[in-house]
């Protein structure tokens, strides 16, 4: 009897995890090397869109160490469509409050911040899209900024 109950509980957990992730279309991270994210290093995210009737939400995220020297992060973003059309953007993300407290979730001196970059995004063409992200801070190399991520969800 206990074995059947355990199997049912495990099955329910698997179904629950699968259901929570059903809106996720894409997720990946750019990992900066140990010396930091150099201004010439471009994070590239490539993903395919097959449903051109769907609206999407773009979520950007960062992982930084508590020793990160700034309270914000400026980035240049290029979204490249399958027909090579490019949309350019410059965005600032706040990583810390004015009092210095990190905004994201932290554990072991590493903080994860997620930002709703764009909602109700419509991709008009089927095919591969690319999003290029380049750090736009005044330093050539941003130390203590470990990862930059992109998640795309159905809206």
High-pLDDT (> 70) share of the chain, % = 86
7-38 pLDDT, tens digit per residue, is: 554 544 454 554 456 799 999 999 999 899 99
Does 7 reside within a domain?
A: no
Q: What is the mean pLDDT of the chain?
A: 90
pLDDT at 149: 98
Distance, in Å, from the CA atom of 42 to the CA atom of 40, rounded to the nearest integer, reads 6
pLDDT at 21: 61
Does 6 reside within a domain?
A: no
Which CATH number is 92's domain given? 2.60.120
Choice between 78 and 107, residue whose per-residue pLDDT is larger? 78
88 lies in which domain range? 25-154
Does 5 reside within a domain?
A: no
Does 33 reside within a domain?
A: yes
> Does residue 5 register a pLDDT over 70?
no
Q: How many domains does the chain have?
A: 1
C-alpha torsion 105→119→149→126, nearest 10: 160
Does 81 reside within a domain?
A: yes
Does 4 reside within a domain?
A: no
Does 106 reside within a domain?
A: yes
What are the DSSP calls for 38-98, one per residue?
ETT-EEEEEEEE--TT-EEEEEEEEEEETT-S-SEEEEEEEEE-TT--EEEEEEEEE-B-T
Does 72 reside within a domain?
A: yes
High-pLDDT (> 90) share of the chain, % = 81
Contact of 147 with 37, CB cutoff 8 Å = no
């Amino acid at each position: 009897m206990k074995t059947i109950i355990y199997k049912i509980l495990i099955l329910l957990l698997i179904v629950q995890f699968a259901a929570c992730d059903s809106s996720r279309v894409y997720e990946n991270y750019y990992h900066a090397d140990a010396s930091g994210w150099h201004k010439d290093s471009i994070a590239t995210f490539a993903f395919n869109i097959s449903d051109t009737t769907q609206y999407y939400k773009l979520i950007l995220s960062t992982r930084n160490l508590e020793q990160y020297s700034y309270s914000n992060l400026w980035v240049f973003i290029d979204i490249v469509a399958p027909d090579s059309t490019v949309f350019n953007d410059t965005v600032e993300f706040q990583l810390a409050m004015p009092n210095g407290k990190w905004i994201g979730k932290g554990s072991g001196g590493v903080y994860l911040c997620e930002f709703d970059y764009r909602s109700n995004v419509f991709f008009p063409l089927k095919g591969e899209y690319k999003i290029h992200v380049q750090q736009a801070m005044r330093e050539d190399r941003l130390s203590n900024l470990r990862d930059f991520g992109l998640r795309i969800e159905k809206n």
